[in-house]
Chains A and B, each alone.
Chain A
Amino acid sequence: MDVASEHSTDHDAHHGPAKGFTRWVYTTNHKDIGTMYLWLAFAMFLIGGSMAMVIRAELFQPGLQLVQPGFFNQMTTMHGLIMVFGAVMPAFVGLANWLIPMMIGAPDMALPRMNNLSFWILPFAFGLLLLTLFMDGGGPNFGWTFYAPLSTQYAPPSVTFFIFSIHLMGLSSIMGAINVIATIINMRAPGMTLMKMPLFVWTWLITAFLLLAAMPVLAGVVTMMLMDINFGTSYFSAAGGGDPVLFQHLFWFFGHPEVYIMILPAFGIISHIVPAFSRKRLFGYSSMVYATASIAILSFMVWAHHMFTVGLPLAGELFFMYATMMIAVPTGVKVFNWISTMFRGSLTLETPMLFAIAFIVLFTIGGFSGLMLAISPADFQYQDTYFVVAHFHYVLVPGAIFSIIAAAYFWLPKWCGRMYDEKLGKIHFWWSFVGLNLTFFPMHFVGLAGMPRRIPDYALQFADFNMISSIGAFIFGTAQLFFLYIVVKCILTGEKAPACPWEGAEGLEWTLPSPAPYHSFTVPPKFED
């Protein structure tokens, strides 16, 4: 080692966080960046959540009650966009930032300045997206999937700003994914071979590949929209020889891997929490890795199952139907592995474990309704009904969101050095659990009975179930304000946490003191399996 780098490491080792706001704005520290990601995600969760509250308030009773249909459309659109791009994805990136370097024994992420850039793009991107709500003609109102020609020929002028905010988010995701890959491939502690990596690291590595393959396609498709809207091209207009269905193919080529981008890291989290509270090693580690990889590969071969009713050739319908059903196999492997991990374990039901068990049960319900939707002929009945809404909310709320909440409870002691209030955590769990099932379970019924999604009014026979859904939504929404209270209380006045507050938890991150020092592993730790 030469003199210059000796000097720099000495310097690194001694400085703690900078004071004041420059600590956050100029930071290159993975923990600071992770914290900012998590708070941004939570803020977006509340904003997107309040949009959901507007939707549910409007749907509380049939007839137009509170908002104009145009505004209702903007709410459904923005709720989806903000929850997908603003809440779930940044939350997982925040967790990756906090956890991956600690789990693999690295000093930081591989490319720390770019890491900070990928965070700081996001407040600008979401600022721009939210600003569109105040522009002439209102914000995006064409659904979060922004199908052409609704989003091209019939869109409000603000769609151009929407396109550029999507570009910014994509840029941030791509840089984040590159950083994750470089970190995991290059920064592991000596002895940590690939097949000894913690599963959260594995699932994030695969997620990062999905991001790198999917986000550029999204950038491409919104660029084509931009050109159709402003420069007279005809990619999505049959009048010029293009095809609106092309939009859907390109969008879902991004969109389906995106679904797995939002669930694979959740699988990783659950694979940490279930063994910890079962006091057993994870059952079937290597099959978990292979199942994750299989899901990732399959996710690029199933996109047209979102488009069964658009007019695909029969061969396409069949191919995408069977390919989609195949995803149930690796997913089933995972679910059975978690259950086998719990089997004959000494289980305790602390808050993270409650959320994890709820994840396994409710995500499986979402998976089963997914199988129903995968059956192409049946999908002709379900397409664009509340059954679809019920399906993907069962996958995303008790799936992605519950796993993020579980991760927050599980690693909060490591992050801030204090324990949350276990009793309040359990109340939060049951409050959320009841709220979410009340909200989304009745949607299966109204959907099967034919209630269309994205419409501010509905036929009278759907009134009772919709009222139950709305009440459930308000219950679930307030539960998340309670979560905010629990987290703030923990940070400010929680009991001091030991290095490893969980009896059964394993992994390098628990060998560090709580809270984890500003620079975790300046020298790589010895990793012994």
Chain B
Amino acid sequence: MNHQHYYVPEQSHWPIVAAFALFFLAAGTAHTIIHGQPLLLIIGLGAIAYLFVGWFGEVIRENQAGLLDNDQVDRSFRLGMGWFIFSEVMFFAAFFGALFYIRHFSVPWLAGEGAKGISHMLWPAFEASWPVMSPPDSARFPGPEETVDPWHLPFINTLLLVSSSITLTIAHHALKKGHRAVVIAWMFVTVALGVSFLVVQGYEYHEAYTQMGLTLHAGVYGATFFILTGFHGMHVTLGTIILIVMLSRILRGHFSARRHFGFEASAWYWHFVDVVWLGLFIFVYVL
């Protein structure tokens, strides 16, 4: 194993394309927000799409050519994906941490409880509750009229996402045994479950905005609700796209029973998204 040569790729134009694409995406988003002109952002999104197809396509071609069939290269990919997911965990940890801090420290203090209850003098009429239904300054931040019932749509979503993790694992086991037809079938189910999750969440957001008054402006409960569920939803969207790509690669016969790290990485990502959802379901919806 140690005598294999490590694959150091040739020069590549993709990194600089990626740097341009990310620049347009970042500056374009800011420009759209401030000036309302989405041209730069559209260029950025187009460049990102071109980049993903191009760069990942090249890696897939290298893989098909056997250049990456090397245990050491494989370990690098595993380490890379694993630590990327760790950084994602920390990203969500920031928002969960904010939620805990607001719930257990700042909202009670604002209502006069605890060590720093002196801040109650700002809005003497404010009373602590979670969810915060009437924020201190209700004129600027009208609180929500009601909040999402965890045992309806969110519970359905929990079932959908947990079963998708199971179906994905079934597909993975089938892939290891080389049962192609089984893999394809269960991958279809997984993707369908992911898409259904997104549809249900879209419906839930629609109801929140139109019927419950639960919006980004609805004070701190709405703010924490949407940042946690929203970023999670974006991750599910990305994960679903990744799974669709994996499915199309399986349909082209890309993965072998022995080496299919692209598939495994997607599965890791999907399970991570699933675990985050369980955290959300408990701490954002139920408790």
Chain A residues packing against B (C-beta within 8 Å): 1-6, 8-9, 11-12, 18, 22-23, 25-28, 106-108, 110-114, 116-117, 120-121, 123-125, 127-128, 157, 160-161, 163-165, 167-168, 171, 174, 177-179, 181-183, 185-187, 190, 212-217, 219-221, 223-224, 226-227, 230-235, 237-243, 245-246, 249-250, 253, 311-315, 519, 522-524
Contacts and interface: CB of A to CB of B under 8 A. Distances in A.
B59 to A, nearest CB: 9
Given A2-B66, A216-B94, A243-B102, A234 B116 contact: no
Nearest to B86: A212
Given A187-B72, A250-B98, 10 more contacts: A8-B67, A25-B16, A112-B8, A113-B15, A116-B15, A160-B30, A171-B22, A214-B90, A216-B94, A234-B135
Contacts of A110: 76, 79-80
Contacts of A22: 11
Contact of A185 (B79, B97, B217): B79
B90 A160 contact: no
B273 interface: no
27 contacts: A6-B5, A8-B7, A8-B67, A27-B11, A108-B8, A111-B80, A112-B8, A113-B9, A114-B80, A120-B18, A120-B19, A121-B18, A124-B19, A124-B23, A124-B26, A157-B34, A160-B34, A164-B27, A182-B79, A186-B72, A186-B75, A186-B76, A187-B76, A217-B94, A234-B219, A237-B141, A522-B5
B242 interface: no
A237 B80 CA distance: 38
Contacts of A523: 5
B8 A227 contact: no
Contact of B223 (A160, A235, A524): A235
B107 interface: yes
A176 to B, nearest CB: 11
A453 B70 CA distance: 56
A227 B216 contact: yes
A2 B4 CA distance: 10
A527 to B, nearest CB: 12
A163 B76 CA distance: 31
B19 A186 contact: no
Contacts of A161: 27, 30, 34
Contact of B220 (A27, A106, A242, A249): A242
Contacts of B26: 124-125, 128, 164-165, 167-168
Contacts of A242: 102, 106, 220, 223
B210 interface: no
A234 B33 CA distance: 18
B227 A223 contact: yes
Contacts of A165: 26
Contacts of B95: 220, 224
A6, A164, A177, A224 — which one has the most chain B CB atoms within 10 A of its CB?
A164
B256 interface: no
B79 A106 contact: no
A8 B69 CA distance: 12
Interface string B210-223: 00000011011111
Interface in B1-52: 2-16, 18-20, 22-23, 26-27, 29-30, 33-34
B216 A112 contact: no
Contacts of A181: 79, 83
Interface residues of B, number: 78
Contact of B2 (A160, A190, A246): A190
Given A4-B65, A187-B72, A246-B102, A28 B9 contact: yes
A108 B94 CA distance: 34
A174 B22 CA distance: 15
A224 B98 contact: yes
B27 A212 contact: no
B218 to A, nearest CB: 8
A243 B80 contact: no
Contacts of A311: 116
B19 to A, nearest CB: 4
A217 to B, nearest CB: 4
Nearest to B2: A190
B94 A241 contact: no
Contacts of A6: 5
A196 B43 CA distance: 49
A444 B128 CA distance: 44
Interface string B172-207: 000000000000000000000000000000000000
B88 interface: yes
A124 B22 contact: yes
Contact of A163 (B30, B55, B220, B223): B30
A233 B86 CA distance: 27
A249 B67 contact: no
Nearest to B95: A220
A114 B8 CA distance: 12
A240 B94 contact: no
